[in-house]
Amino acid sequence: MKEIHEECGVLGIYGVDQASRLAFLGLQSLQHRGQQGCGIAVEGEDGDIRLHKGAGLVKDVFKEADLARLAGRNCIGHVRYPTTDVGGMENIQPFKMTGKAGRFALAHNGNIVNVDIIREHLESLGHIFSSSSDSELFGHLIGIGRAPNGWVENIISAAHLLDGAFCIVILADGVLYACRDKYGFHPLSIGRLGDGYVVASETCALNSLGAEFIRDVEPGELISIGPEGLKSYRHSLYVGRRMCAMEYIYFARPDSDIEGCNVHAFRKLSGKILFEEHPVPADLVTCVPESSMSAAIGYAEASGLPLEMGLLKNMYVARTFIQPAQSLREIGVKMKLTPVRGVVRGKSVAVIDDSIVRGTTSRQIVKMLRDAGAREVHMLIASPKYAWPCFYGIDTGTREQLIGSSKTVEEIRDFIGADTLNYLSEDALFRASGRTTLCTACFSGHYPTDLYGHEG
């Protein structure tokens, strides 16, 4: 139903018995970051890397026999979101690769902005790619390195060449590596589990495995976890942190902490600020379940209005039914969301949502509330107007597909049919997160990186 999607989540486990079974559980905690496909690569006692991956949810891709075959104490895992334009099975990760440096497995979250330039260069040198994934490119760059100091130097050399967003986990020669781009677009956290370690895209995965949070992998940092413990290296001295604001607003799970800020707390505070910025004459507050629930709680608490279940989510609609054709998607919204007539009939309803991307979903929500008897519908968006495409691993479509790129707030209000429409200010994102820097490019058009010919 959502018009905006995270593309991936990554996980790494080092030095823990039955690592693949833990990864199987941990990846389910990251499932909200990607549902198209998933995989786990394990390094066995014999040093061999065994891999199982497939299309679908984690619980469906892995059977008992698969997990039994993936025996070992070190592993990496990945969940992937479907993008309609690129590839299928060949893009599901982890990738198992062999290069001059030896055999390794890697998994990656994010988008590399200068991928075309580097890929063309490698292809001119005779490299053949089996997928359209940025991660395979990273693998080629690591694989061709044969630095005397081994993997660390090879990974740092590769990271130097790539611009954009990457959280990458690598398994090679009995060591787990985790590396984050210099801007720190997406989260990557380290936890301690017994004598071993867990690295994950979100702390919710650490919590679900019972791992104790140690710290985040810093932007521009490469860590290695091996027999000598955890070591830290820098691949960049850049210090301008640019965490993706949408991680706080929408992508991450509310029980995750991102760089010291709890996601639910951020959203609740942004809902409070949304009320301060835009009080509306409503009888009740409701959310579009479930991602805007925290912001709706904040708005309701600040306004003193009752928080009601004005919309109900049906968890059991088949995913295939709600994508990808627009006509089916529209029916899918009706199947997936239902107004609670007894709650909204005759009422002025303040609806809190996290974003408006194309506008079609919001329009249907307003219509279904009116059809259910709502007297007024006031849409309140707990983020600024989304007007620019993302090049850092978030699937939003092109600028033409973003309603905020060509329409004013009043024109969008008219399109979705609401009585009022208001957005959170950009300043509120900094207040709610307690940060002075964020990536807010999809709201402001100010991209932290060069776009290398991509059209913003």
Q: Which is nearer to ligand SF4, 24 or 392 (CB)?
A: 392
40 binds ligand SF4 (CB under 6 A): no
Tokens (6 digits) for 218: 């810093």
Q: Which helix (H) or strand (E) holds 136?
A: helix 134-144
Query: Computed over its alpha carbons, how large is the radius of gyration of the chain?
Result: 22
- Is the distance from CB of 390 to CB of 338 less than 8 angstroms? no
296 binds ligand SF4 (CB under 6 A): no
Residue 239 Cβ, how far from ligand SF4 at the closest point, in Å? 18
Residue 442 Cβ, how far from ligand SF4 at the closest point, in Å? 3
Residue 251 Cβ, how far from ligand SF4 at the closest point, in Å? 8
Going by C-alpha positions, the residue among 76, 85, 18 that lies closest to residue 45 is 18
How far apart are the C-alpha atoms of 67 and 329, rounded to whole Å?
35
Q: Which is nearer to ligand SF4, 202 or 419 (CB)?
A: 202
Segment 373 to 432, residues that bind ligand SF4, using CB under 6 A: 390, 392, 394
Tokens (6 digits) for 132: 């359209």
Strand order across the beta sheet in which 175-180 lies: 95-99, 102-109, 167-172, 175-180, 221-226, 229-234
The interface region with ligand SF4, picked from 53-61, 199-207, 240-248, 331-339 by CB under 6 A, is 240-248
Among 70, 293, 333, 441, binds ligand SF4 (CB under 6 A): 441
Residue 80 Cβ, how far from ligand SF4 at the closest point, in Å? 17
CA 186 to chain centre: 7
Going by C-alpha positions, the residue among 248, 244, 300, 276 that lies closest to residue 437 is 244
244 binds ligand SF4 (CB under 6 A): yes
Q: How big is the site for ligand SF4, counted in residues (CB under 6 A)? A: 11
Q: Which is nearer to ligand SF4, 19 or 438 (CB)?
A: 438
Residue 390 Cβ, how far from ligand SF4 at the closest point, in Å? 3
Q: Is 236 left (phi over 0), alpha (psi -120 to 50) or beta?
A: beta
- Is the distance from CB of 4 to CB of 394 less than 8 angstroms? yes
Q: Annotated catalytic, 204? A: no
Q: Which is nearer to ligand SF4, 311 or 381 (CB)?
A: 381
Q: Show the binding pattern over residues 194-233: x = contacts ligand SF4 (CB under 6 A), - = does not.
A: ----------------------------------------
How far apart are the C-alpha atoms of 416 and 359, rounded to whole Å?
7
Among 105, 170, 366, 439, binds ligand SF4 (CB under 6 A): 439
Among 91, 114, 270, 440, binds ligand SF4 (CB under 6 A): 440
**Identified catalytic residue from 8, 179, 204, 244:** 8
Residue 10 Cβ, how far from ligand SF4 at the closest point, in Å? 16
Segment 138 to 197, residues that bind ligand SF4, using CB under 6 A: 185
Q: Which is nearer to ligand SF4, 15 or 384 (CB)?
A: 384
Q: Which is nearer to ligand SF4, 245 or 282 (CB)?
A: 245
256 binds ligand SF4 (CB under 6 A): no
Segment 326 to 365, residues that bind ligand SF4, using CB under 6 A: none
- Is the distance from CB of 286 to CB of 339 less than 8 angstroms? no
Going by C-alpha positions, the residue among 149, 189, 232 that lies closest to residue 26 is 189
Indicate the pairing of strand 348-353 with strand 284-287: parallel
Tokens (6 digits) for 214: 């140690």
First CA to last CA distance, the chain = 25
Q: Which is nearer to ligand SF4, 115 or 156 (CB)?
A: 115
245 binds ligand SF4 (CB under 6 A): yes
Quick check: helix, strand or coil at residue 354?
A: coil
Residues contacting residue 445 through CB under 8 Å, at least 6 positions apart:
387, 388, 456
246 binds ligand SF4 (CB under 6 A): yes
- Is the distance from CB of 227 to CB of 233 less than 8 angstroms? no
113 binds ligand SF4 (CB under 6 A): no
Residue 242 Cβ, how far from ligand SF4 at the closest point, in Å? 7
How far apart are the C-alpha atoms of 342 and 352, rounded to whole Å?
19
Residue 130 Cβ, how far from ligand SF4 at the closest point, in Å? 27
Tokens (6 digits) for 201: 């895209």
**Which positions touch ligand SF4 (CB under 6 A)?**
185, 244-246, 390, 392, 394, 439-442
Mind telling me the catalytic residues? 8
